[in-house]
């Protein structure tokens, strides 16, 4: 369906099962049977999404290592999300990643033995955090947010549907900060996505294509110099425009197959009047979107001020 892969959400807390919170061994057997059914009866599964699963009143001992082993056995290509080793919750439900969003984090146990608690601290992967780590694990973030109020459909909530401007800002603050965006769209009682939601999604997609459809650095108007590496450990890249350009965004991306390296960088957009507009940020990762909105840009200078290894960064502008 439209190129979308199929995933399943299964809450570890099944409050309708009598053994939940009363007999952990029996409950874990029940839960694994549920998991086995989902992973063997519905074809290829791309994602298994767990949640925090700590309702008040009853304390259940979850055998997460067993769950993970079962998923790896039955669906080895499935991504285990949130309470699992592959993708983590960003730490809020407003669709906003951290200013410094590191995908590499320290953990105290091997990945399939770790309990994977929610990570809400501001600093997860600085050098200080990595110092002395027993294990280092690649654990990228996903930022979840709902298109309208609540996670499930409710009548008379059309007024709460987020505007295109809100959605674009969420995109900048999630995808544009090295996180995936998980935008919740709830079907109504007919099992369909409501028409107002579909309309807003189309408007959102049109807006993104309009904003990020043409890389101005790939046109003949731009001369892009190769990145230069300096003896002090910094690196820089200069862009000149033959005709001044109005730049709304500068987008940087690291080659994350080689890891996440950049710790601090700066972008200077100089206009035709010689005024320099300076923008500073920290991590890049898979993608960093800087909203600059500078008119008549003549030159663009990107400087990697601090990096854990030689940076491998691609640059685009819109």
Q: What is the pLDDT of residue 274?
A: 97
40 half-sphere exposure, CB direction, 13 A CA radius: 9
CB-based contact 142:182 (threshold 8 Å): yes
Q: Which two tokens stand for residue 6?
A: 């199929």
Q: What phi, psi does 3 have (nearest 5°)?
A: 75, 10
pLDDT digits 0-9 by tens, 44-97: 999 999 987 777 777 889 999 999 999 999 999 999 999 999 999 999 999 999
Q: Which two tokens stand for residue 227?
A: 């990145």
CB-based contact 317:249 (threshold 8 Å): yes
Name the one residue in this structure whose structure tokens are 């059309």.
158
CB-based contact 136:214 (threshold 8 Å): no
Q: What is the pLDDT of residue 115?
A: 84
Q: Which two tokens stand for residue 266?
A: 């700066």
CATH 3.40.50.300 fits 216-317, yes or no: no
* Global model pTM greater than 0.95: no
Q: Which two tokens stand for residue 96?
A: 């906003």
CATH topology of domain 7-211: TIM Barrel (3.20.20)
Q: What is the pLDDT of residue 1?
A: 57
Where do the structural domains in the chain lie, given as residue ranges?
7-211, 216-317
The share of the chain scoring above pLDDT 90, in percent, equals: 91
> Rounded to whole angstroms, how far apart are CA atoms 20 and 31?
10
Q: Which two tokens stand for residue 17?
A: 């099962």
The tens-digit pLDDT sequence of the chain (318 residues) is 578 899 999 999 998 999 999 999 999 999 999 999 999 999 999 999 998 777 777 788 999 999 999 999 999 999 999 999 999 999 999 999 999 999 999 999 998 889 898 999 999 999 999 999 999 999 999 999 999 999 999 999 999 999 999 999 999 999 999 999 999 999 999 999 999 999 999 999 999 999 999 999 999 999 999 999 999 999 999 999 999 999 999 999 999 999 999 999 999 999 999 999 999 999 999 999 999 999 999 999 999 999 999 999 999 999
Q: Which residues contact 69 (CB under 8 A, 6 or more apart)?
A: 112
Q: Do domains 7-211 and 216-317 have the same CATH topology?
A: no
Nearest to 139 by CA among 120, 123, 122, 116: 116
């Amino acid at each position: 369906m439209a190129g979308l892969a199929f995933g399943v959400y299964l809450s570890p807390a099944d409050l309708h099962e009598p053994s939940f919170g009363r007999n952990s061994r029996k409950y874990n057997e029940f839960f694994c049977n549920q998991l086995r059914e989902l992973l063997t009866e519905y074809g290829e599964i791309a994602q298994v999404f767990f949640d925090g699963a700590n309702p008040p009143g009853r304390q259940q001992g979850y055998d997460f290592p067993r769950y993970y082993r079962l998923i790896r056995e039955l669906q080895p290509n499935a991504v285990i999300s949130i309470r699992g080793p592959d993708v983590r919750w960003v730490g809020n439900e407003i669709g906003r990643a951290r200013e410094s969003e590191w995908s590499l984090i320290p953990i105290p146990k091997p990945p399939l033995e770790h309990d994977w608690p929610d990570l809400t601290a501001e600093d997860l992967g600085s050098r200080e955090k990595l110092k002395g780590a027993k294990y280092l694990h690649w654990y990228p973030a996903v930022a979840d947010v709902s298109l309208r109020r609540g996670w499930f459909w409710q009548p008379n909530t059309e007024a709460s549907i987020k505007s295109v401007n809100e959605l674009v800002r969420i995109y900048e603050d999630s995808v544009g900060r090295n996180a995936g965006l998980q935008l919740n769209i709830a079907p109504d009682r007919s099992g369909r996505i409501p028409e107002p939601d579909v309309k807003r999604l189309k408007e959102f997609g049109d807006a993104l294509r309009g904003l990020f459809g043409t890389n101005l650095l790939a046109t003949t108007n731009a001369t892009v110099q190769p990145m230069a590496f300096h003896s002090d450990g910094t690196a820089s890249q200069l862009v000149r425009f033959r005709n001044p350009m109005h730049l709304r965004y500068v987008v940087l991306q690291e080659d994350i197959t080689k890891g996440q390296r950049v710790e601090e960088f700066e972008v200077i957009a100089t206009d035709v009047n010689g005024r320099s507009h300076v923008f500073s940020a920290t991590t890049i990762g898979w993608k960093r979107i800087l909203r600059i909105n500078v008119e008549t840009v003549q030159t663009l200078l990107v400087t990697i001020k601090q990096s854990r290894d030689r940076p491998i960064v691609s640059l685009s502008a819109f």
